[in-house]
Structure 1
Amino acid sequence: MANIRVKLVQNEQELEDAFSVRQEVFVKEQGIPAPLEQDVFDAVSQHIVAYCDDQPIAAGRVRIVDDHVAKVDRVCVLPAYRRKQVGVRMMEKLEHYVKDYHIDVIKIHAQTHAVPFYETQDYKVTSPEFIDGGAPFRAMEKKMTND
């Protein structure tokens, strides 16, 4: 999958591409209500998008929530590209982005079915299961090393 590019969103078209992937995965595939999928945090987050042959295939976002904590969410990959290391590359890009902010902890609310994936990325479960938007989640976090 050498033709996959993961990049920070830098313009309106790339943001629309990220939103289109989120719409496909969260609203159409998973049934999350459309009004819940986009929220106030979109305006204050750094978004990322992955492309395969110029077609958007994955998206995510990160925001700095205080001096030493970042929150990653809305990470998603279109079904045809899952289990092909796209999610790993997305998380690497998000984690690399926050390095400049000297973040100590990255927090994420992972859908329960995705917990094993995040565990392979060194995230640890920090909460019991909870429901958000009709889907089950677990809070997770990763301690960062600021080398």
Structure 2
Amino acid sequence: MTETRVVDSDDEREDALAVRHAVFVEEQGVDENLEYDEHDADAVHVVAYDGCEPVGAARLRELEDGAGKVERVAVLEPRRGEGIGQELMAVLEKRARADGFDELKLHSQTHAAEFYAELEYERYGKVFEEAGIPHVRMRKKL
């Protein structure tokens, strides 16, 4: 059983970054200079733990239009399909509501768009490339 929580220490933040590194940099080949950015310092990070082991991570930040943006949703490959992604999203959505956001936006890799659609996110716009990977824009009213 996993526990998903908002990061409140440097160690937990490092756990989030480690999950992202494993998924995006090592598995998907995203350049480290693209994966880690200026938003990491101010974003709300969440981590899913199985005991002491971090197995999933994501972040939330505010956009200029007042909406929240979900980013860097990652679950370690051997743990996919266990509901960890849904847990991460539930914690982020709860935090977004508490922070006063009435809408969340995200850029989904095209292969993951169905996952977000099942969580009531809707696609808008055309497919575009981000970090060399096809993405689609999605949003959800909270």
Tell me the TM-score range normalised by the shorter chain. Answer: over 0.9
Query: Is there any run of 5+ residues in structure 1 with no aligned partner, and where?
Result: none
Name 2:45's counterpart in structure 1: 47
Task: Give the one of 68, 71, 74 matched to 2:72.
Answer: 74
Name 2:140's counterpart in structure 1: 142
The letter for the 1-side match of 2:27 is: E
Query: Distance between the aligned counterparts of 2:38 and 2:66, measured in 1?
Result: 21
Query: Could you state the TM-score of these two structures normalised by the residue count of structure 2?
Result: 0.97
Partner-residue secondary structure (3-state), 1:131: strand
Query: Distance between the aligned counterparts of 2:14 and 2:124, measured in 1?
Result: 32
How large is the Cα RMSD of the aligned pairs? 1.0
Query: Distance between the aligned counterparts of 1:127 and 1:99, measured in 2?
Result: 25
Cα contact 1:68–1:101 (8 A) shared by 2: no
Cα contact 1:67–1:103 (8 A) shared by 2: no
The letter for the 2-side match of 1:40 is: E
Q: How many residues get paired?
A: 142
Q: Deviations over 1:68-116 (max 9, x none)?
A: 4100000000011111110001000000001122212100000111000
Query: Distance between the aligned counterparts of 1:136 and 1:127, measured in 2?
Result: 13
Task: Give the one of 86, 100, 103 matched to 1:102.
Answer: 100
Matched ranges for 1:53-92 at <5 A: 53-66=51-64, 68-92=66-90
* Runs of 4+ residues deviating >6 angstroms: none
The letter for the 1-side match of 2:33 is: P
Query: Could you state the TM-score of these two structures normalised by the residue count of structure 1?
Result: 0.93
Partner-residue secondary structure (3-state), 2:41: helix
Give the drift of 1:66: 4.2
Partner-residue secondary structure (3-state), 2:8: coil
Q: Share of identical aligned residues, percent?
A: 38
Query: Distance between the aligned counterparts of 2:118 and 2:19, measured in 1?
Result: 23
Query: Distance between the aligned counterparts of 2:20 and 2:31, measured in 1?
Result: 12
Partner-residue secondary structure (3-state), 2:57: strand
